[in-house]
Every structure is written in structure tokens, then in C-alpha cells.
Amino acid sequence: MPSFDIVSRTEIHEVDNAIQSAMREIGTRFDFKGSSSSIERTDEAILIKADDELKLKQVQELLRGHMARRKVDVGALDFQKPEKAAGTSMRQTVAIKQGVERELAQKIVKSIKGMKAKVQVAIQGDEVRVTGKKRDDLQAAIDLIKDSKFSQPLQYVNFRD
């Protein structure tokens, strides 16, 4: 029976490469001379440090641009609220989304069941499996999900006939 999985995965090594190139640009740009702006990655989050709110916005835009160049979808980044650090410096945590969250998975299931195709949809941990008798029904489900424009980037993997 044909099936496929809907997942949301972010390639961490591409995120690291984007952070490194953004840090190189911060080091060479004139408007960042003498500033202590930096970008660091911990396990599943990125920490942005900047001297003030303006520099924080500039570092965010740099990070977004370098992520796009490395073909990492910016929708996989969840920018938290900036917080004040010592003095006028600012700090912001950016969570890297991995896996399909429960609420999003339920929206996906509801939209696929609403199209009235003969497919079964099951939430399996942090992914959604779609199974059907006809390959055309599965492709219609993929088209429906692509047209829905969910906030998180989704990939369609493990397609089996």
C-alpha cells in the first residue's frame, strides 16, 4: 500500500555554516567595528548577543540572509522575545524547530481528511504518515498540504509504492 511521511527537519550542519559565515561578515563590516555582537548555537537553539537593539535587528537580518543562502528555511527559526543583558546589551534566543508539532499535525490531519480522498492519516510522534490505495490520492494530499502554507517548513519523505 503506497504511503509517505510528512516531516519537518532542519539540517543542523547547514545552520552551523550559516552562523559561521554571518560571524565572518560581522567581523568585517564597518558598522560592527568594536561591537561585541555574536551568534552562537547550543543544542537546539541559537543565541544572538548584540550591543543594542539596532545591532540586534541587524544581526537578525544577517542571520536570516545567511540562512536563506544556505537553503535553510527561515520558517524553521522561532525568534523569542529579546531580553536585556548587562547595560544596554541585548540577548535573544532563537529556537530551531525540529519535527512536526502536535497542533500542526492535527491541522494537517484535519485538512487531509477534509479533502474527502481515500487516504488514512496517522500522527506518529513528530511526523505524520499518509497511506492510501492510489498514488494519485497521495499526490493530491501533498499538493493540498503545499497549498495550505503552514508556518513550519515541511518535507515529504519515505514515499513507498
Report how many domains make up the chain. 2
Does 109 share its domain with 90?
no
Domain span holding position 59: 12-96
Please name the residues in contact with 83: beta carbons below 8 A apart, sequence gap of 6 or more. Answer: 90, 91, 92
The CATH number that applies at residue 19 is: 3.30.70.990
pLDDT in tens, 117-131: 888 888 988 889 999
pLDDT in tens, 62-90: 999 999 999 998 888 999 999 998 888 89
Does 68 share its domain with 110?
no
For the whole model, what pTM was predicted?
A: 0.81
Does 24 share its domain with 76?
yes
Does 82 share its domain with 136?
no
pLDDT score recorded for residue 93: 94
The CATH number that applies at residue 148 is: 3.30.70.860
Three-class DSSP category at 157: strand
Q: Over 90: is that where the pLDDT of 22 sits? A: yes
pLDDT in tens, 131-153: 988 888 888 888 888 888 888 88
Contact 132, 3 (CB under 8 A): yes
Cα 123 from Cα 22, distance rounded (Å): 37
Does 80 share its domain with 17?
yes
